[in-house]
Amino acid sequence: MAVPYAEKMAQSQKEISISDFFAKNRQILGFDNPSKALLVSVKEAVDNSLDACEEAGIFPSIFVGLEKVGDKDRFRMTVRDNGPGIVKKQIPNVFGRLLYGSRFHAIRQSRGQQGIGISSVVLYSQLTTGKAALITSKIGEDYPCHQMEVHINTKTNRPQIENPQVVLWDHPHGTEISVELEGRYQKNKKQSVMEYLRATAIVNPHVEIIFKGPDDEVHTFERVIELLPETANECKPHPHGIELGVLKNMLKYTEARKLSSFLINEFVRVSPRGARELLDTAGIDEKRKPNRLQLEDIQSLFDKIQEMKFMSPPTDCLSPIGDMLIRKGLRKEIDSKFAYTVTRDPSVFRGTPFQVEAGIVYGGDLPTGESVKILRFGNRVPLLYQQGGCVITHAIERINWRPYGLEQRGGKGIPVGPAVILVHIASTNVPFTSESKEAIADVDEIMDEIGRALMDCGRRVRSHINKKKKLKKVSEKYDIIREILPEISKKSSSMVGKPEPLLDPIITKIMNVHVFDSGVVYHESGEGDQKQKITEVTIKYQNYTNRERKMRIHVKVPDALIQGIYPETHVRKKGLIEWDVGPIQPARSQRLGFSILGLDKDDYDDVEIYYSRLPGEVIGADPL
């Protein structure tokens, strides 16, 4: 009797190692082509370095070097950080083993999530050049610096080490990876190493990056702020954010002995009462051992979890960049006239907390006839590819930008105008569309939050544009009353041979407007610990109408110590100072002002003025 065919097949059926799989499917990790591969390699190495530094509370200073090797499309990439370093024993695991990392099990916002990143670079380098990665790491001033060559055994997914040695390194601590790989270097393109580093610098204003390109040009992205992002807390999963497979695994490996304590201890927002209720409705005894549950029971438990209501997950495991810092980053890298940023309150999709931050830059030297540039970020990492398939792009396209002063064909699609739009999604689990983490999936809750943030940005752009238009109009009127009208008077008087008439009443008729002007001056006083940062704000109201006026003026103030408010007849409200002003005679003015203590230079530069009870045209302020 013949051997059944299945037996034959069984001989060739064996486990394919993950390394082997990725070796054959490199596009899954984003190494589709040489130029993208080079960029992705830099990105993975930099992300790794940033995460390591921040976790250790170190201001990241990162060196990125690219060197051409030979005539072919081959480069040596060196990325060095000043992070905490890696202990000798772990070096091979971190760089030579796929799916090995410290963050895979933690529910917390971080750049790398799957631990697939840096080892895939080592693998890619090995596949394209046959060379091992050279790793150098030092964990402290008084410790030896270890150096070794690492490569991956693709059959076993295990690292192999060659030439381990102790070397001298003139850095107190940190890690350096140096690999040779096939790649193509593109300069001045949207998807280039330079643009990636620039984008990284925008959302990480606490980072310093020195980039030395193949042309030996050195570009430094400077640190703008001496403040580390708050480390996000680790937190347990929310029941609504869990998938069936993960639930199954958690049940299998939990240390809890009873199902009820499993639910209470391994998840957030599950109270003892909630656990009991859940198990009751699922018809499972709460005293059962979690690892003894049958598949039907797990399915039933999973189904009931979806039906039950739980409190939203806590959001302190998120670490937004903060609107002020994004603004600083944008201002540093993009030269423009106007920047506005907003950080939304945290929100939740499928049990996963997330937070949207958005910013818009407008005017200046930005090109007017082109589509706006979109800067997308997921957990502080720039997303450079698959723009068209990303929820951020879709949210931008859904908004009608025309009322906000940007052009848009048919009120849909990416708007056109001198603007850059930035969107950052922070989440414990950013829902990327694929493992290469290039685009974020269309999740309704995220889409809506982005929409709200962008509309806020849009409104601010509109009011900026309107203000500019009005200011132009008012400056033309100043030209009339200061330059032209006196000349008209002089010329006509001399032609008719009569004395010049008084022009004041005509001036108020020509202006017929209320003008608010504001000025911000930053200065410092004292030295060292006594140093005071003072931002002085002045506001001037001018009555260019032909009647006396009374009004209420409201000025938005930041959350900081405010002093020296004048005139003293004012009212403090939350985030506002209010004055009742007047009566102010025609052609007269009134000055107001205050000082803000403790803010950095440029933290407060746009004075928001509102008015009430003021009829007619007003320039420089908005109605409340």
Partner 1 sequence: MAKKQKFKENQEAQFRLKKIAEYIYGQLRNEEVPHLEVSSRTKNNIVLSKDHKVWVYGSDQVTRSAKDLGGATNILRSLYTVNFIDEMINSGKSSTLREMYYISEGWEKAKFPSQDESNRLAEDLEIITKCMREDFKLRPEEDGARVIGDVTIEEMNRKGLKKKINCKDDVGDSGYGIPYNVEKEKLKFKNVNAKFIIAIETGGMFDRLAENGFDEGHNAILVHLKGQPARSTRRFIKRLHHYSKLPVVLFTDGDPWSYRIYASVAYGAIKTAHISEYLATPEAIYLGITPSDIINYDLPNDKLTDQDVNALKSELSDPRFSSSTWKSEIKLQLKIKKKSEQQALAKYGLDYVTETYLPEKLQEINII
Least spacing, CB of residue 618 vs partner 1, in Å? 17
Nearer to partner 1, 501 or 616 (CB): 501
Nearer to partner 1, 466 or 493 (CB): 493
Contact 328, 224 (CB under 8 A): yes
Q: Does 616 bind partner 1 (CB under 8 A)?
A: no
Q: Which of 444, 483, 529, 568 binds partner 1 (CB under 8 A)?
A: 483
Q: Does 469 bind partner 1 (CB under 8 A)?
A: no
Q: How many residues bind partner 1 (CB under 8 A)?
A: 22
Least spacing, CB of residue 471 vs partner 1, in Å? 14
Contacts of 441 (CB under 8 A, 6+ apart): 391, 431, 432, 433
User: Coil, helix or strand for 205?
Assistant: coil
Nearer to partner 1, 223 or 477 (CB): 477
- The span of 178-186, 217-225, 342-350, 474-482 binding partner 1 (CB under 8 A) equals 474-482
Contact 557, 596 (CB under 8 A): yes
Nearer to partner 1, 477 or 514 (CB): 477
Backbone φ and ψ for 376, nearest 5 degrees, come out as: -110, 140
Least spacing, CB of residue 313 vs partner 1, in Å? 59
SS3 for 211-258, per residue? EECCCCCEEEECCCCCCCCCCCCCCCCCHHHCCHHHHHHHHHHCCCCC
Rounded to the nearest 5 degrees, what angle is found at the Cα of 595, between the Cα atoms of 594 and 596?
Answer: 130
Least spacing, CB of residue 482 vs partner 1, in Å? 10
Nearer to partner 1, 28 or 506 (CB): 506
Nearer to partner 1, 172 or 505 (CB): 505
Q: What is the DSSP letter of 429?
A: S
d(CA 211, CA 214): 10
Least spacing, CB of residue 387 vs partner 1, in Å? 37
* Interface positions, 486-505, toward partner 1 (CB under 8 A): 487-489, 491-493, 495-496, 498, 501, 503, 505
CA 111 to chain centre: 11
CA 184 to chain centre: 28
Q: What is the DSSP letter of 481?
A: I
Least spacing, CB of residue 468 vs partner 1, in Å? 17
Nearer to partner 1, 335 or 476 (CB): 476
d(CA 560, CA 585): 34
Q: Does 585 bind partner 1 (CB under 8 A)?
A: no
Nearer to partner 1, 403 or 505 (CB): 505
- The span of 184-192, 324-332, 483-491, 603-611 binding partner 1 (CB under 8 A) equals 483-491
Contact 546, 554 (CB under 8 A): no
Nearer to partner 1, 487 or 568 (CB): 487
Q: What count of other Cβ atoms lies within 10 Å of the Cβ of residue 251? A: 20
Q: Does 615 bind partner 1 (CB under 8 A)?
A: no
Least spacing, CB of residue 446 vs partner 1, in Å? 48
Report CA dihedral (453, 458, 459, 462) to the nearest 10 degrees.
170
Contact 541, 516 (CB under 8 A): yes
Q: Does 471 bind partner 1 (CB under 8 A)?
A: no
Q: Is the peptide bond before 615 cis (omega within 30 degrees of 0)?
A: no
Q: Which of 246, 484, 560, 571 binds partner 1 (CB under 8 A)?
A: 484
Contacts of 159 (CB under 8 A, 6+ apart): 92, 93, 95, 96, 97, 150, 151, 152, 153
Nearer to partner 1, 295 or 496 (CB): 496
Least spacing, CB of residue 617 vs partner 1, in Å? 12
SS3 for 435-456, per residue? CCCCCECCCHHHHHHHHHHHHH
* Interface positions, 506-525, toward partner 1 (CB under 8 A): 506, 509-510
Least spacing, CB of residue 494 vs partner 1, in Å? 8
Nearer to partner 1, 289 or 491 (CB): 491
The binding site for partner 1 (CB under 8 A) comprises 476-477, 479-480, 483-485, 487-489, 491-493, 495-496, 498, 501, 503, 505-506, 509-510
